[in-house]
């Protein structure tokens, strides 16, 4: 992704040569910027998942020391069901966006 940022910077410097160059580079720059946006969003999501897993490890470590083990087990079960549905919906939305055949529905 570092290369994409460098390429965008080079193309934007080339845009100073005139409106013809700017028009020719417009699609390339927008395409690269869109790819960067999606990459950065997925990196942010992965970091959020790691933070959530770390918090969950702390809860599991404290689980045995208190009297709320049953309620935590219930919450864990409900969260697992929610995550399964969330993951399914995410995969379906990714497939719909990436496949022209599946996007027609």
Q: 80 and 44 in one domain? A: no
pLDDT band, residue 3 (cuts 50/70/90): low
Query: What are the tens digits of pLDDT across the range 12-38?
Result: 888 888 888 888 888 888 888 777 777
Which domain covers residue 22, as residue numbers? Answer: 1-63
Do both 6 and 55 map to the same domain? yes
For the segment 57-68, the average pLDDT, to the nearest whole number, is: 62
The domain total for the chain is 2
pLDDT-based confidence at 69, cuts 50/70/90? low
Spatial contact of 44 and 50, defined as CB atoms under 8 Å apart = no
- Residues 56 and 73 grouped into a single domain: no
Higher pLDDT pick, 72 / 86 = 86
Q: Are residues 16 and 33 in the same domain?
A: yes
On whether both 1 and 35 belong to a single domain, the answer is yes
The pTM for the full model equals 0.33
The dihedrals phi and psi of 99, each to the nearest 5 degrees, come to -115, 115
Do 41 and 19 share a structural domain? Answer: yes
């Amino acid at each position: 992704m570092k290369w994409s940022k460098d390429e965008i910077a080079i193309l934007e410097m080339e845009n100073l040569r005139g409106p013809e160059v700017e028009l020719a580079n417009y699609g390339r720059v927008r395409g690269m910027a869109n790819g960067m946006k999606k990459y950065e969003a997925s990196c942010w999501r992965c970091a959020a998942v790691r933070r959530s897993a770390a918090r969950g490890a702390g809860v599991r470590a404290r689980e045995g020391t208190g009297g709320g083990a049953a309620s935590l087990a219930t919450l864990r079960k409900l969260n697992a069901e929610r995550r399964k549905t969330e993951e399914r919906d995410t995969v379906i939305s990714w497939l719909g966006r990436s496949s022209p055949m599946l996007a027609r529905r």
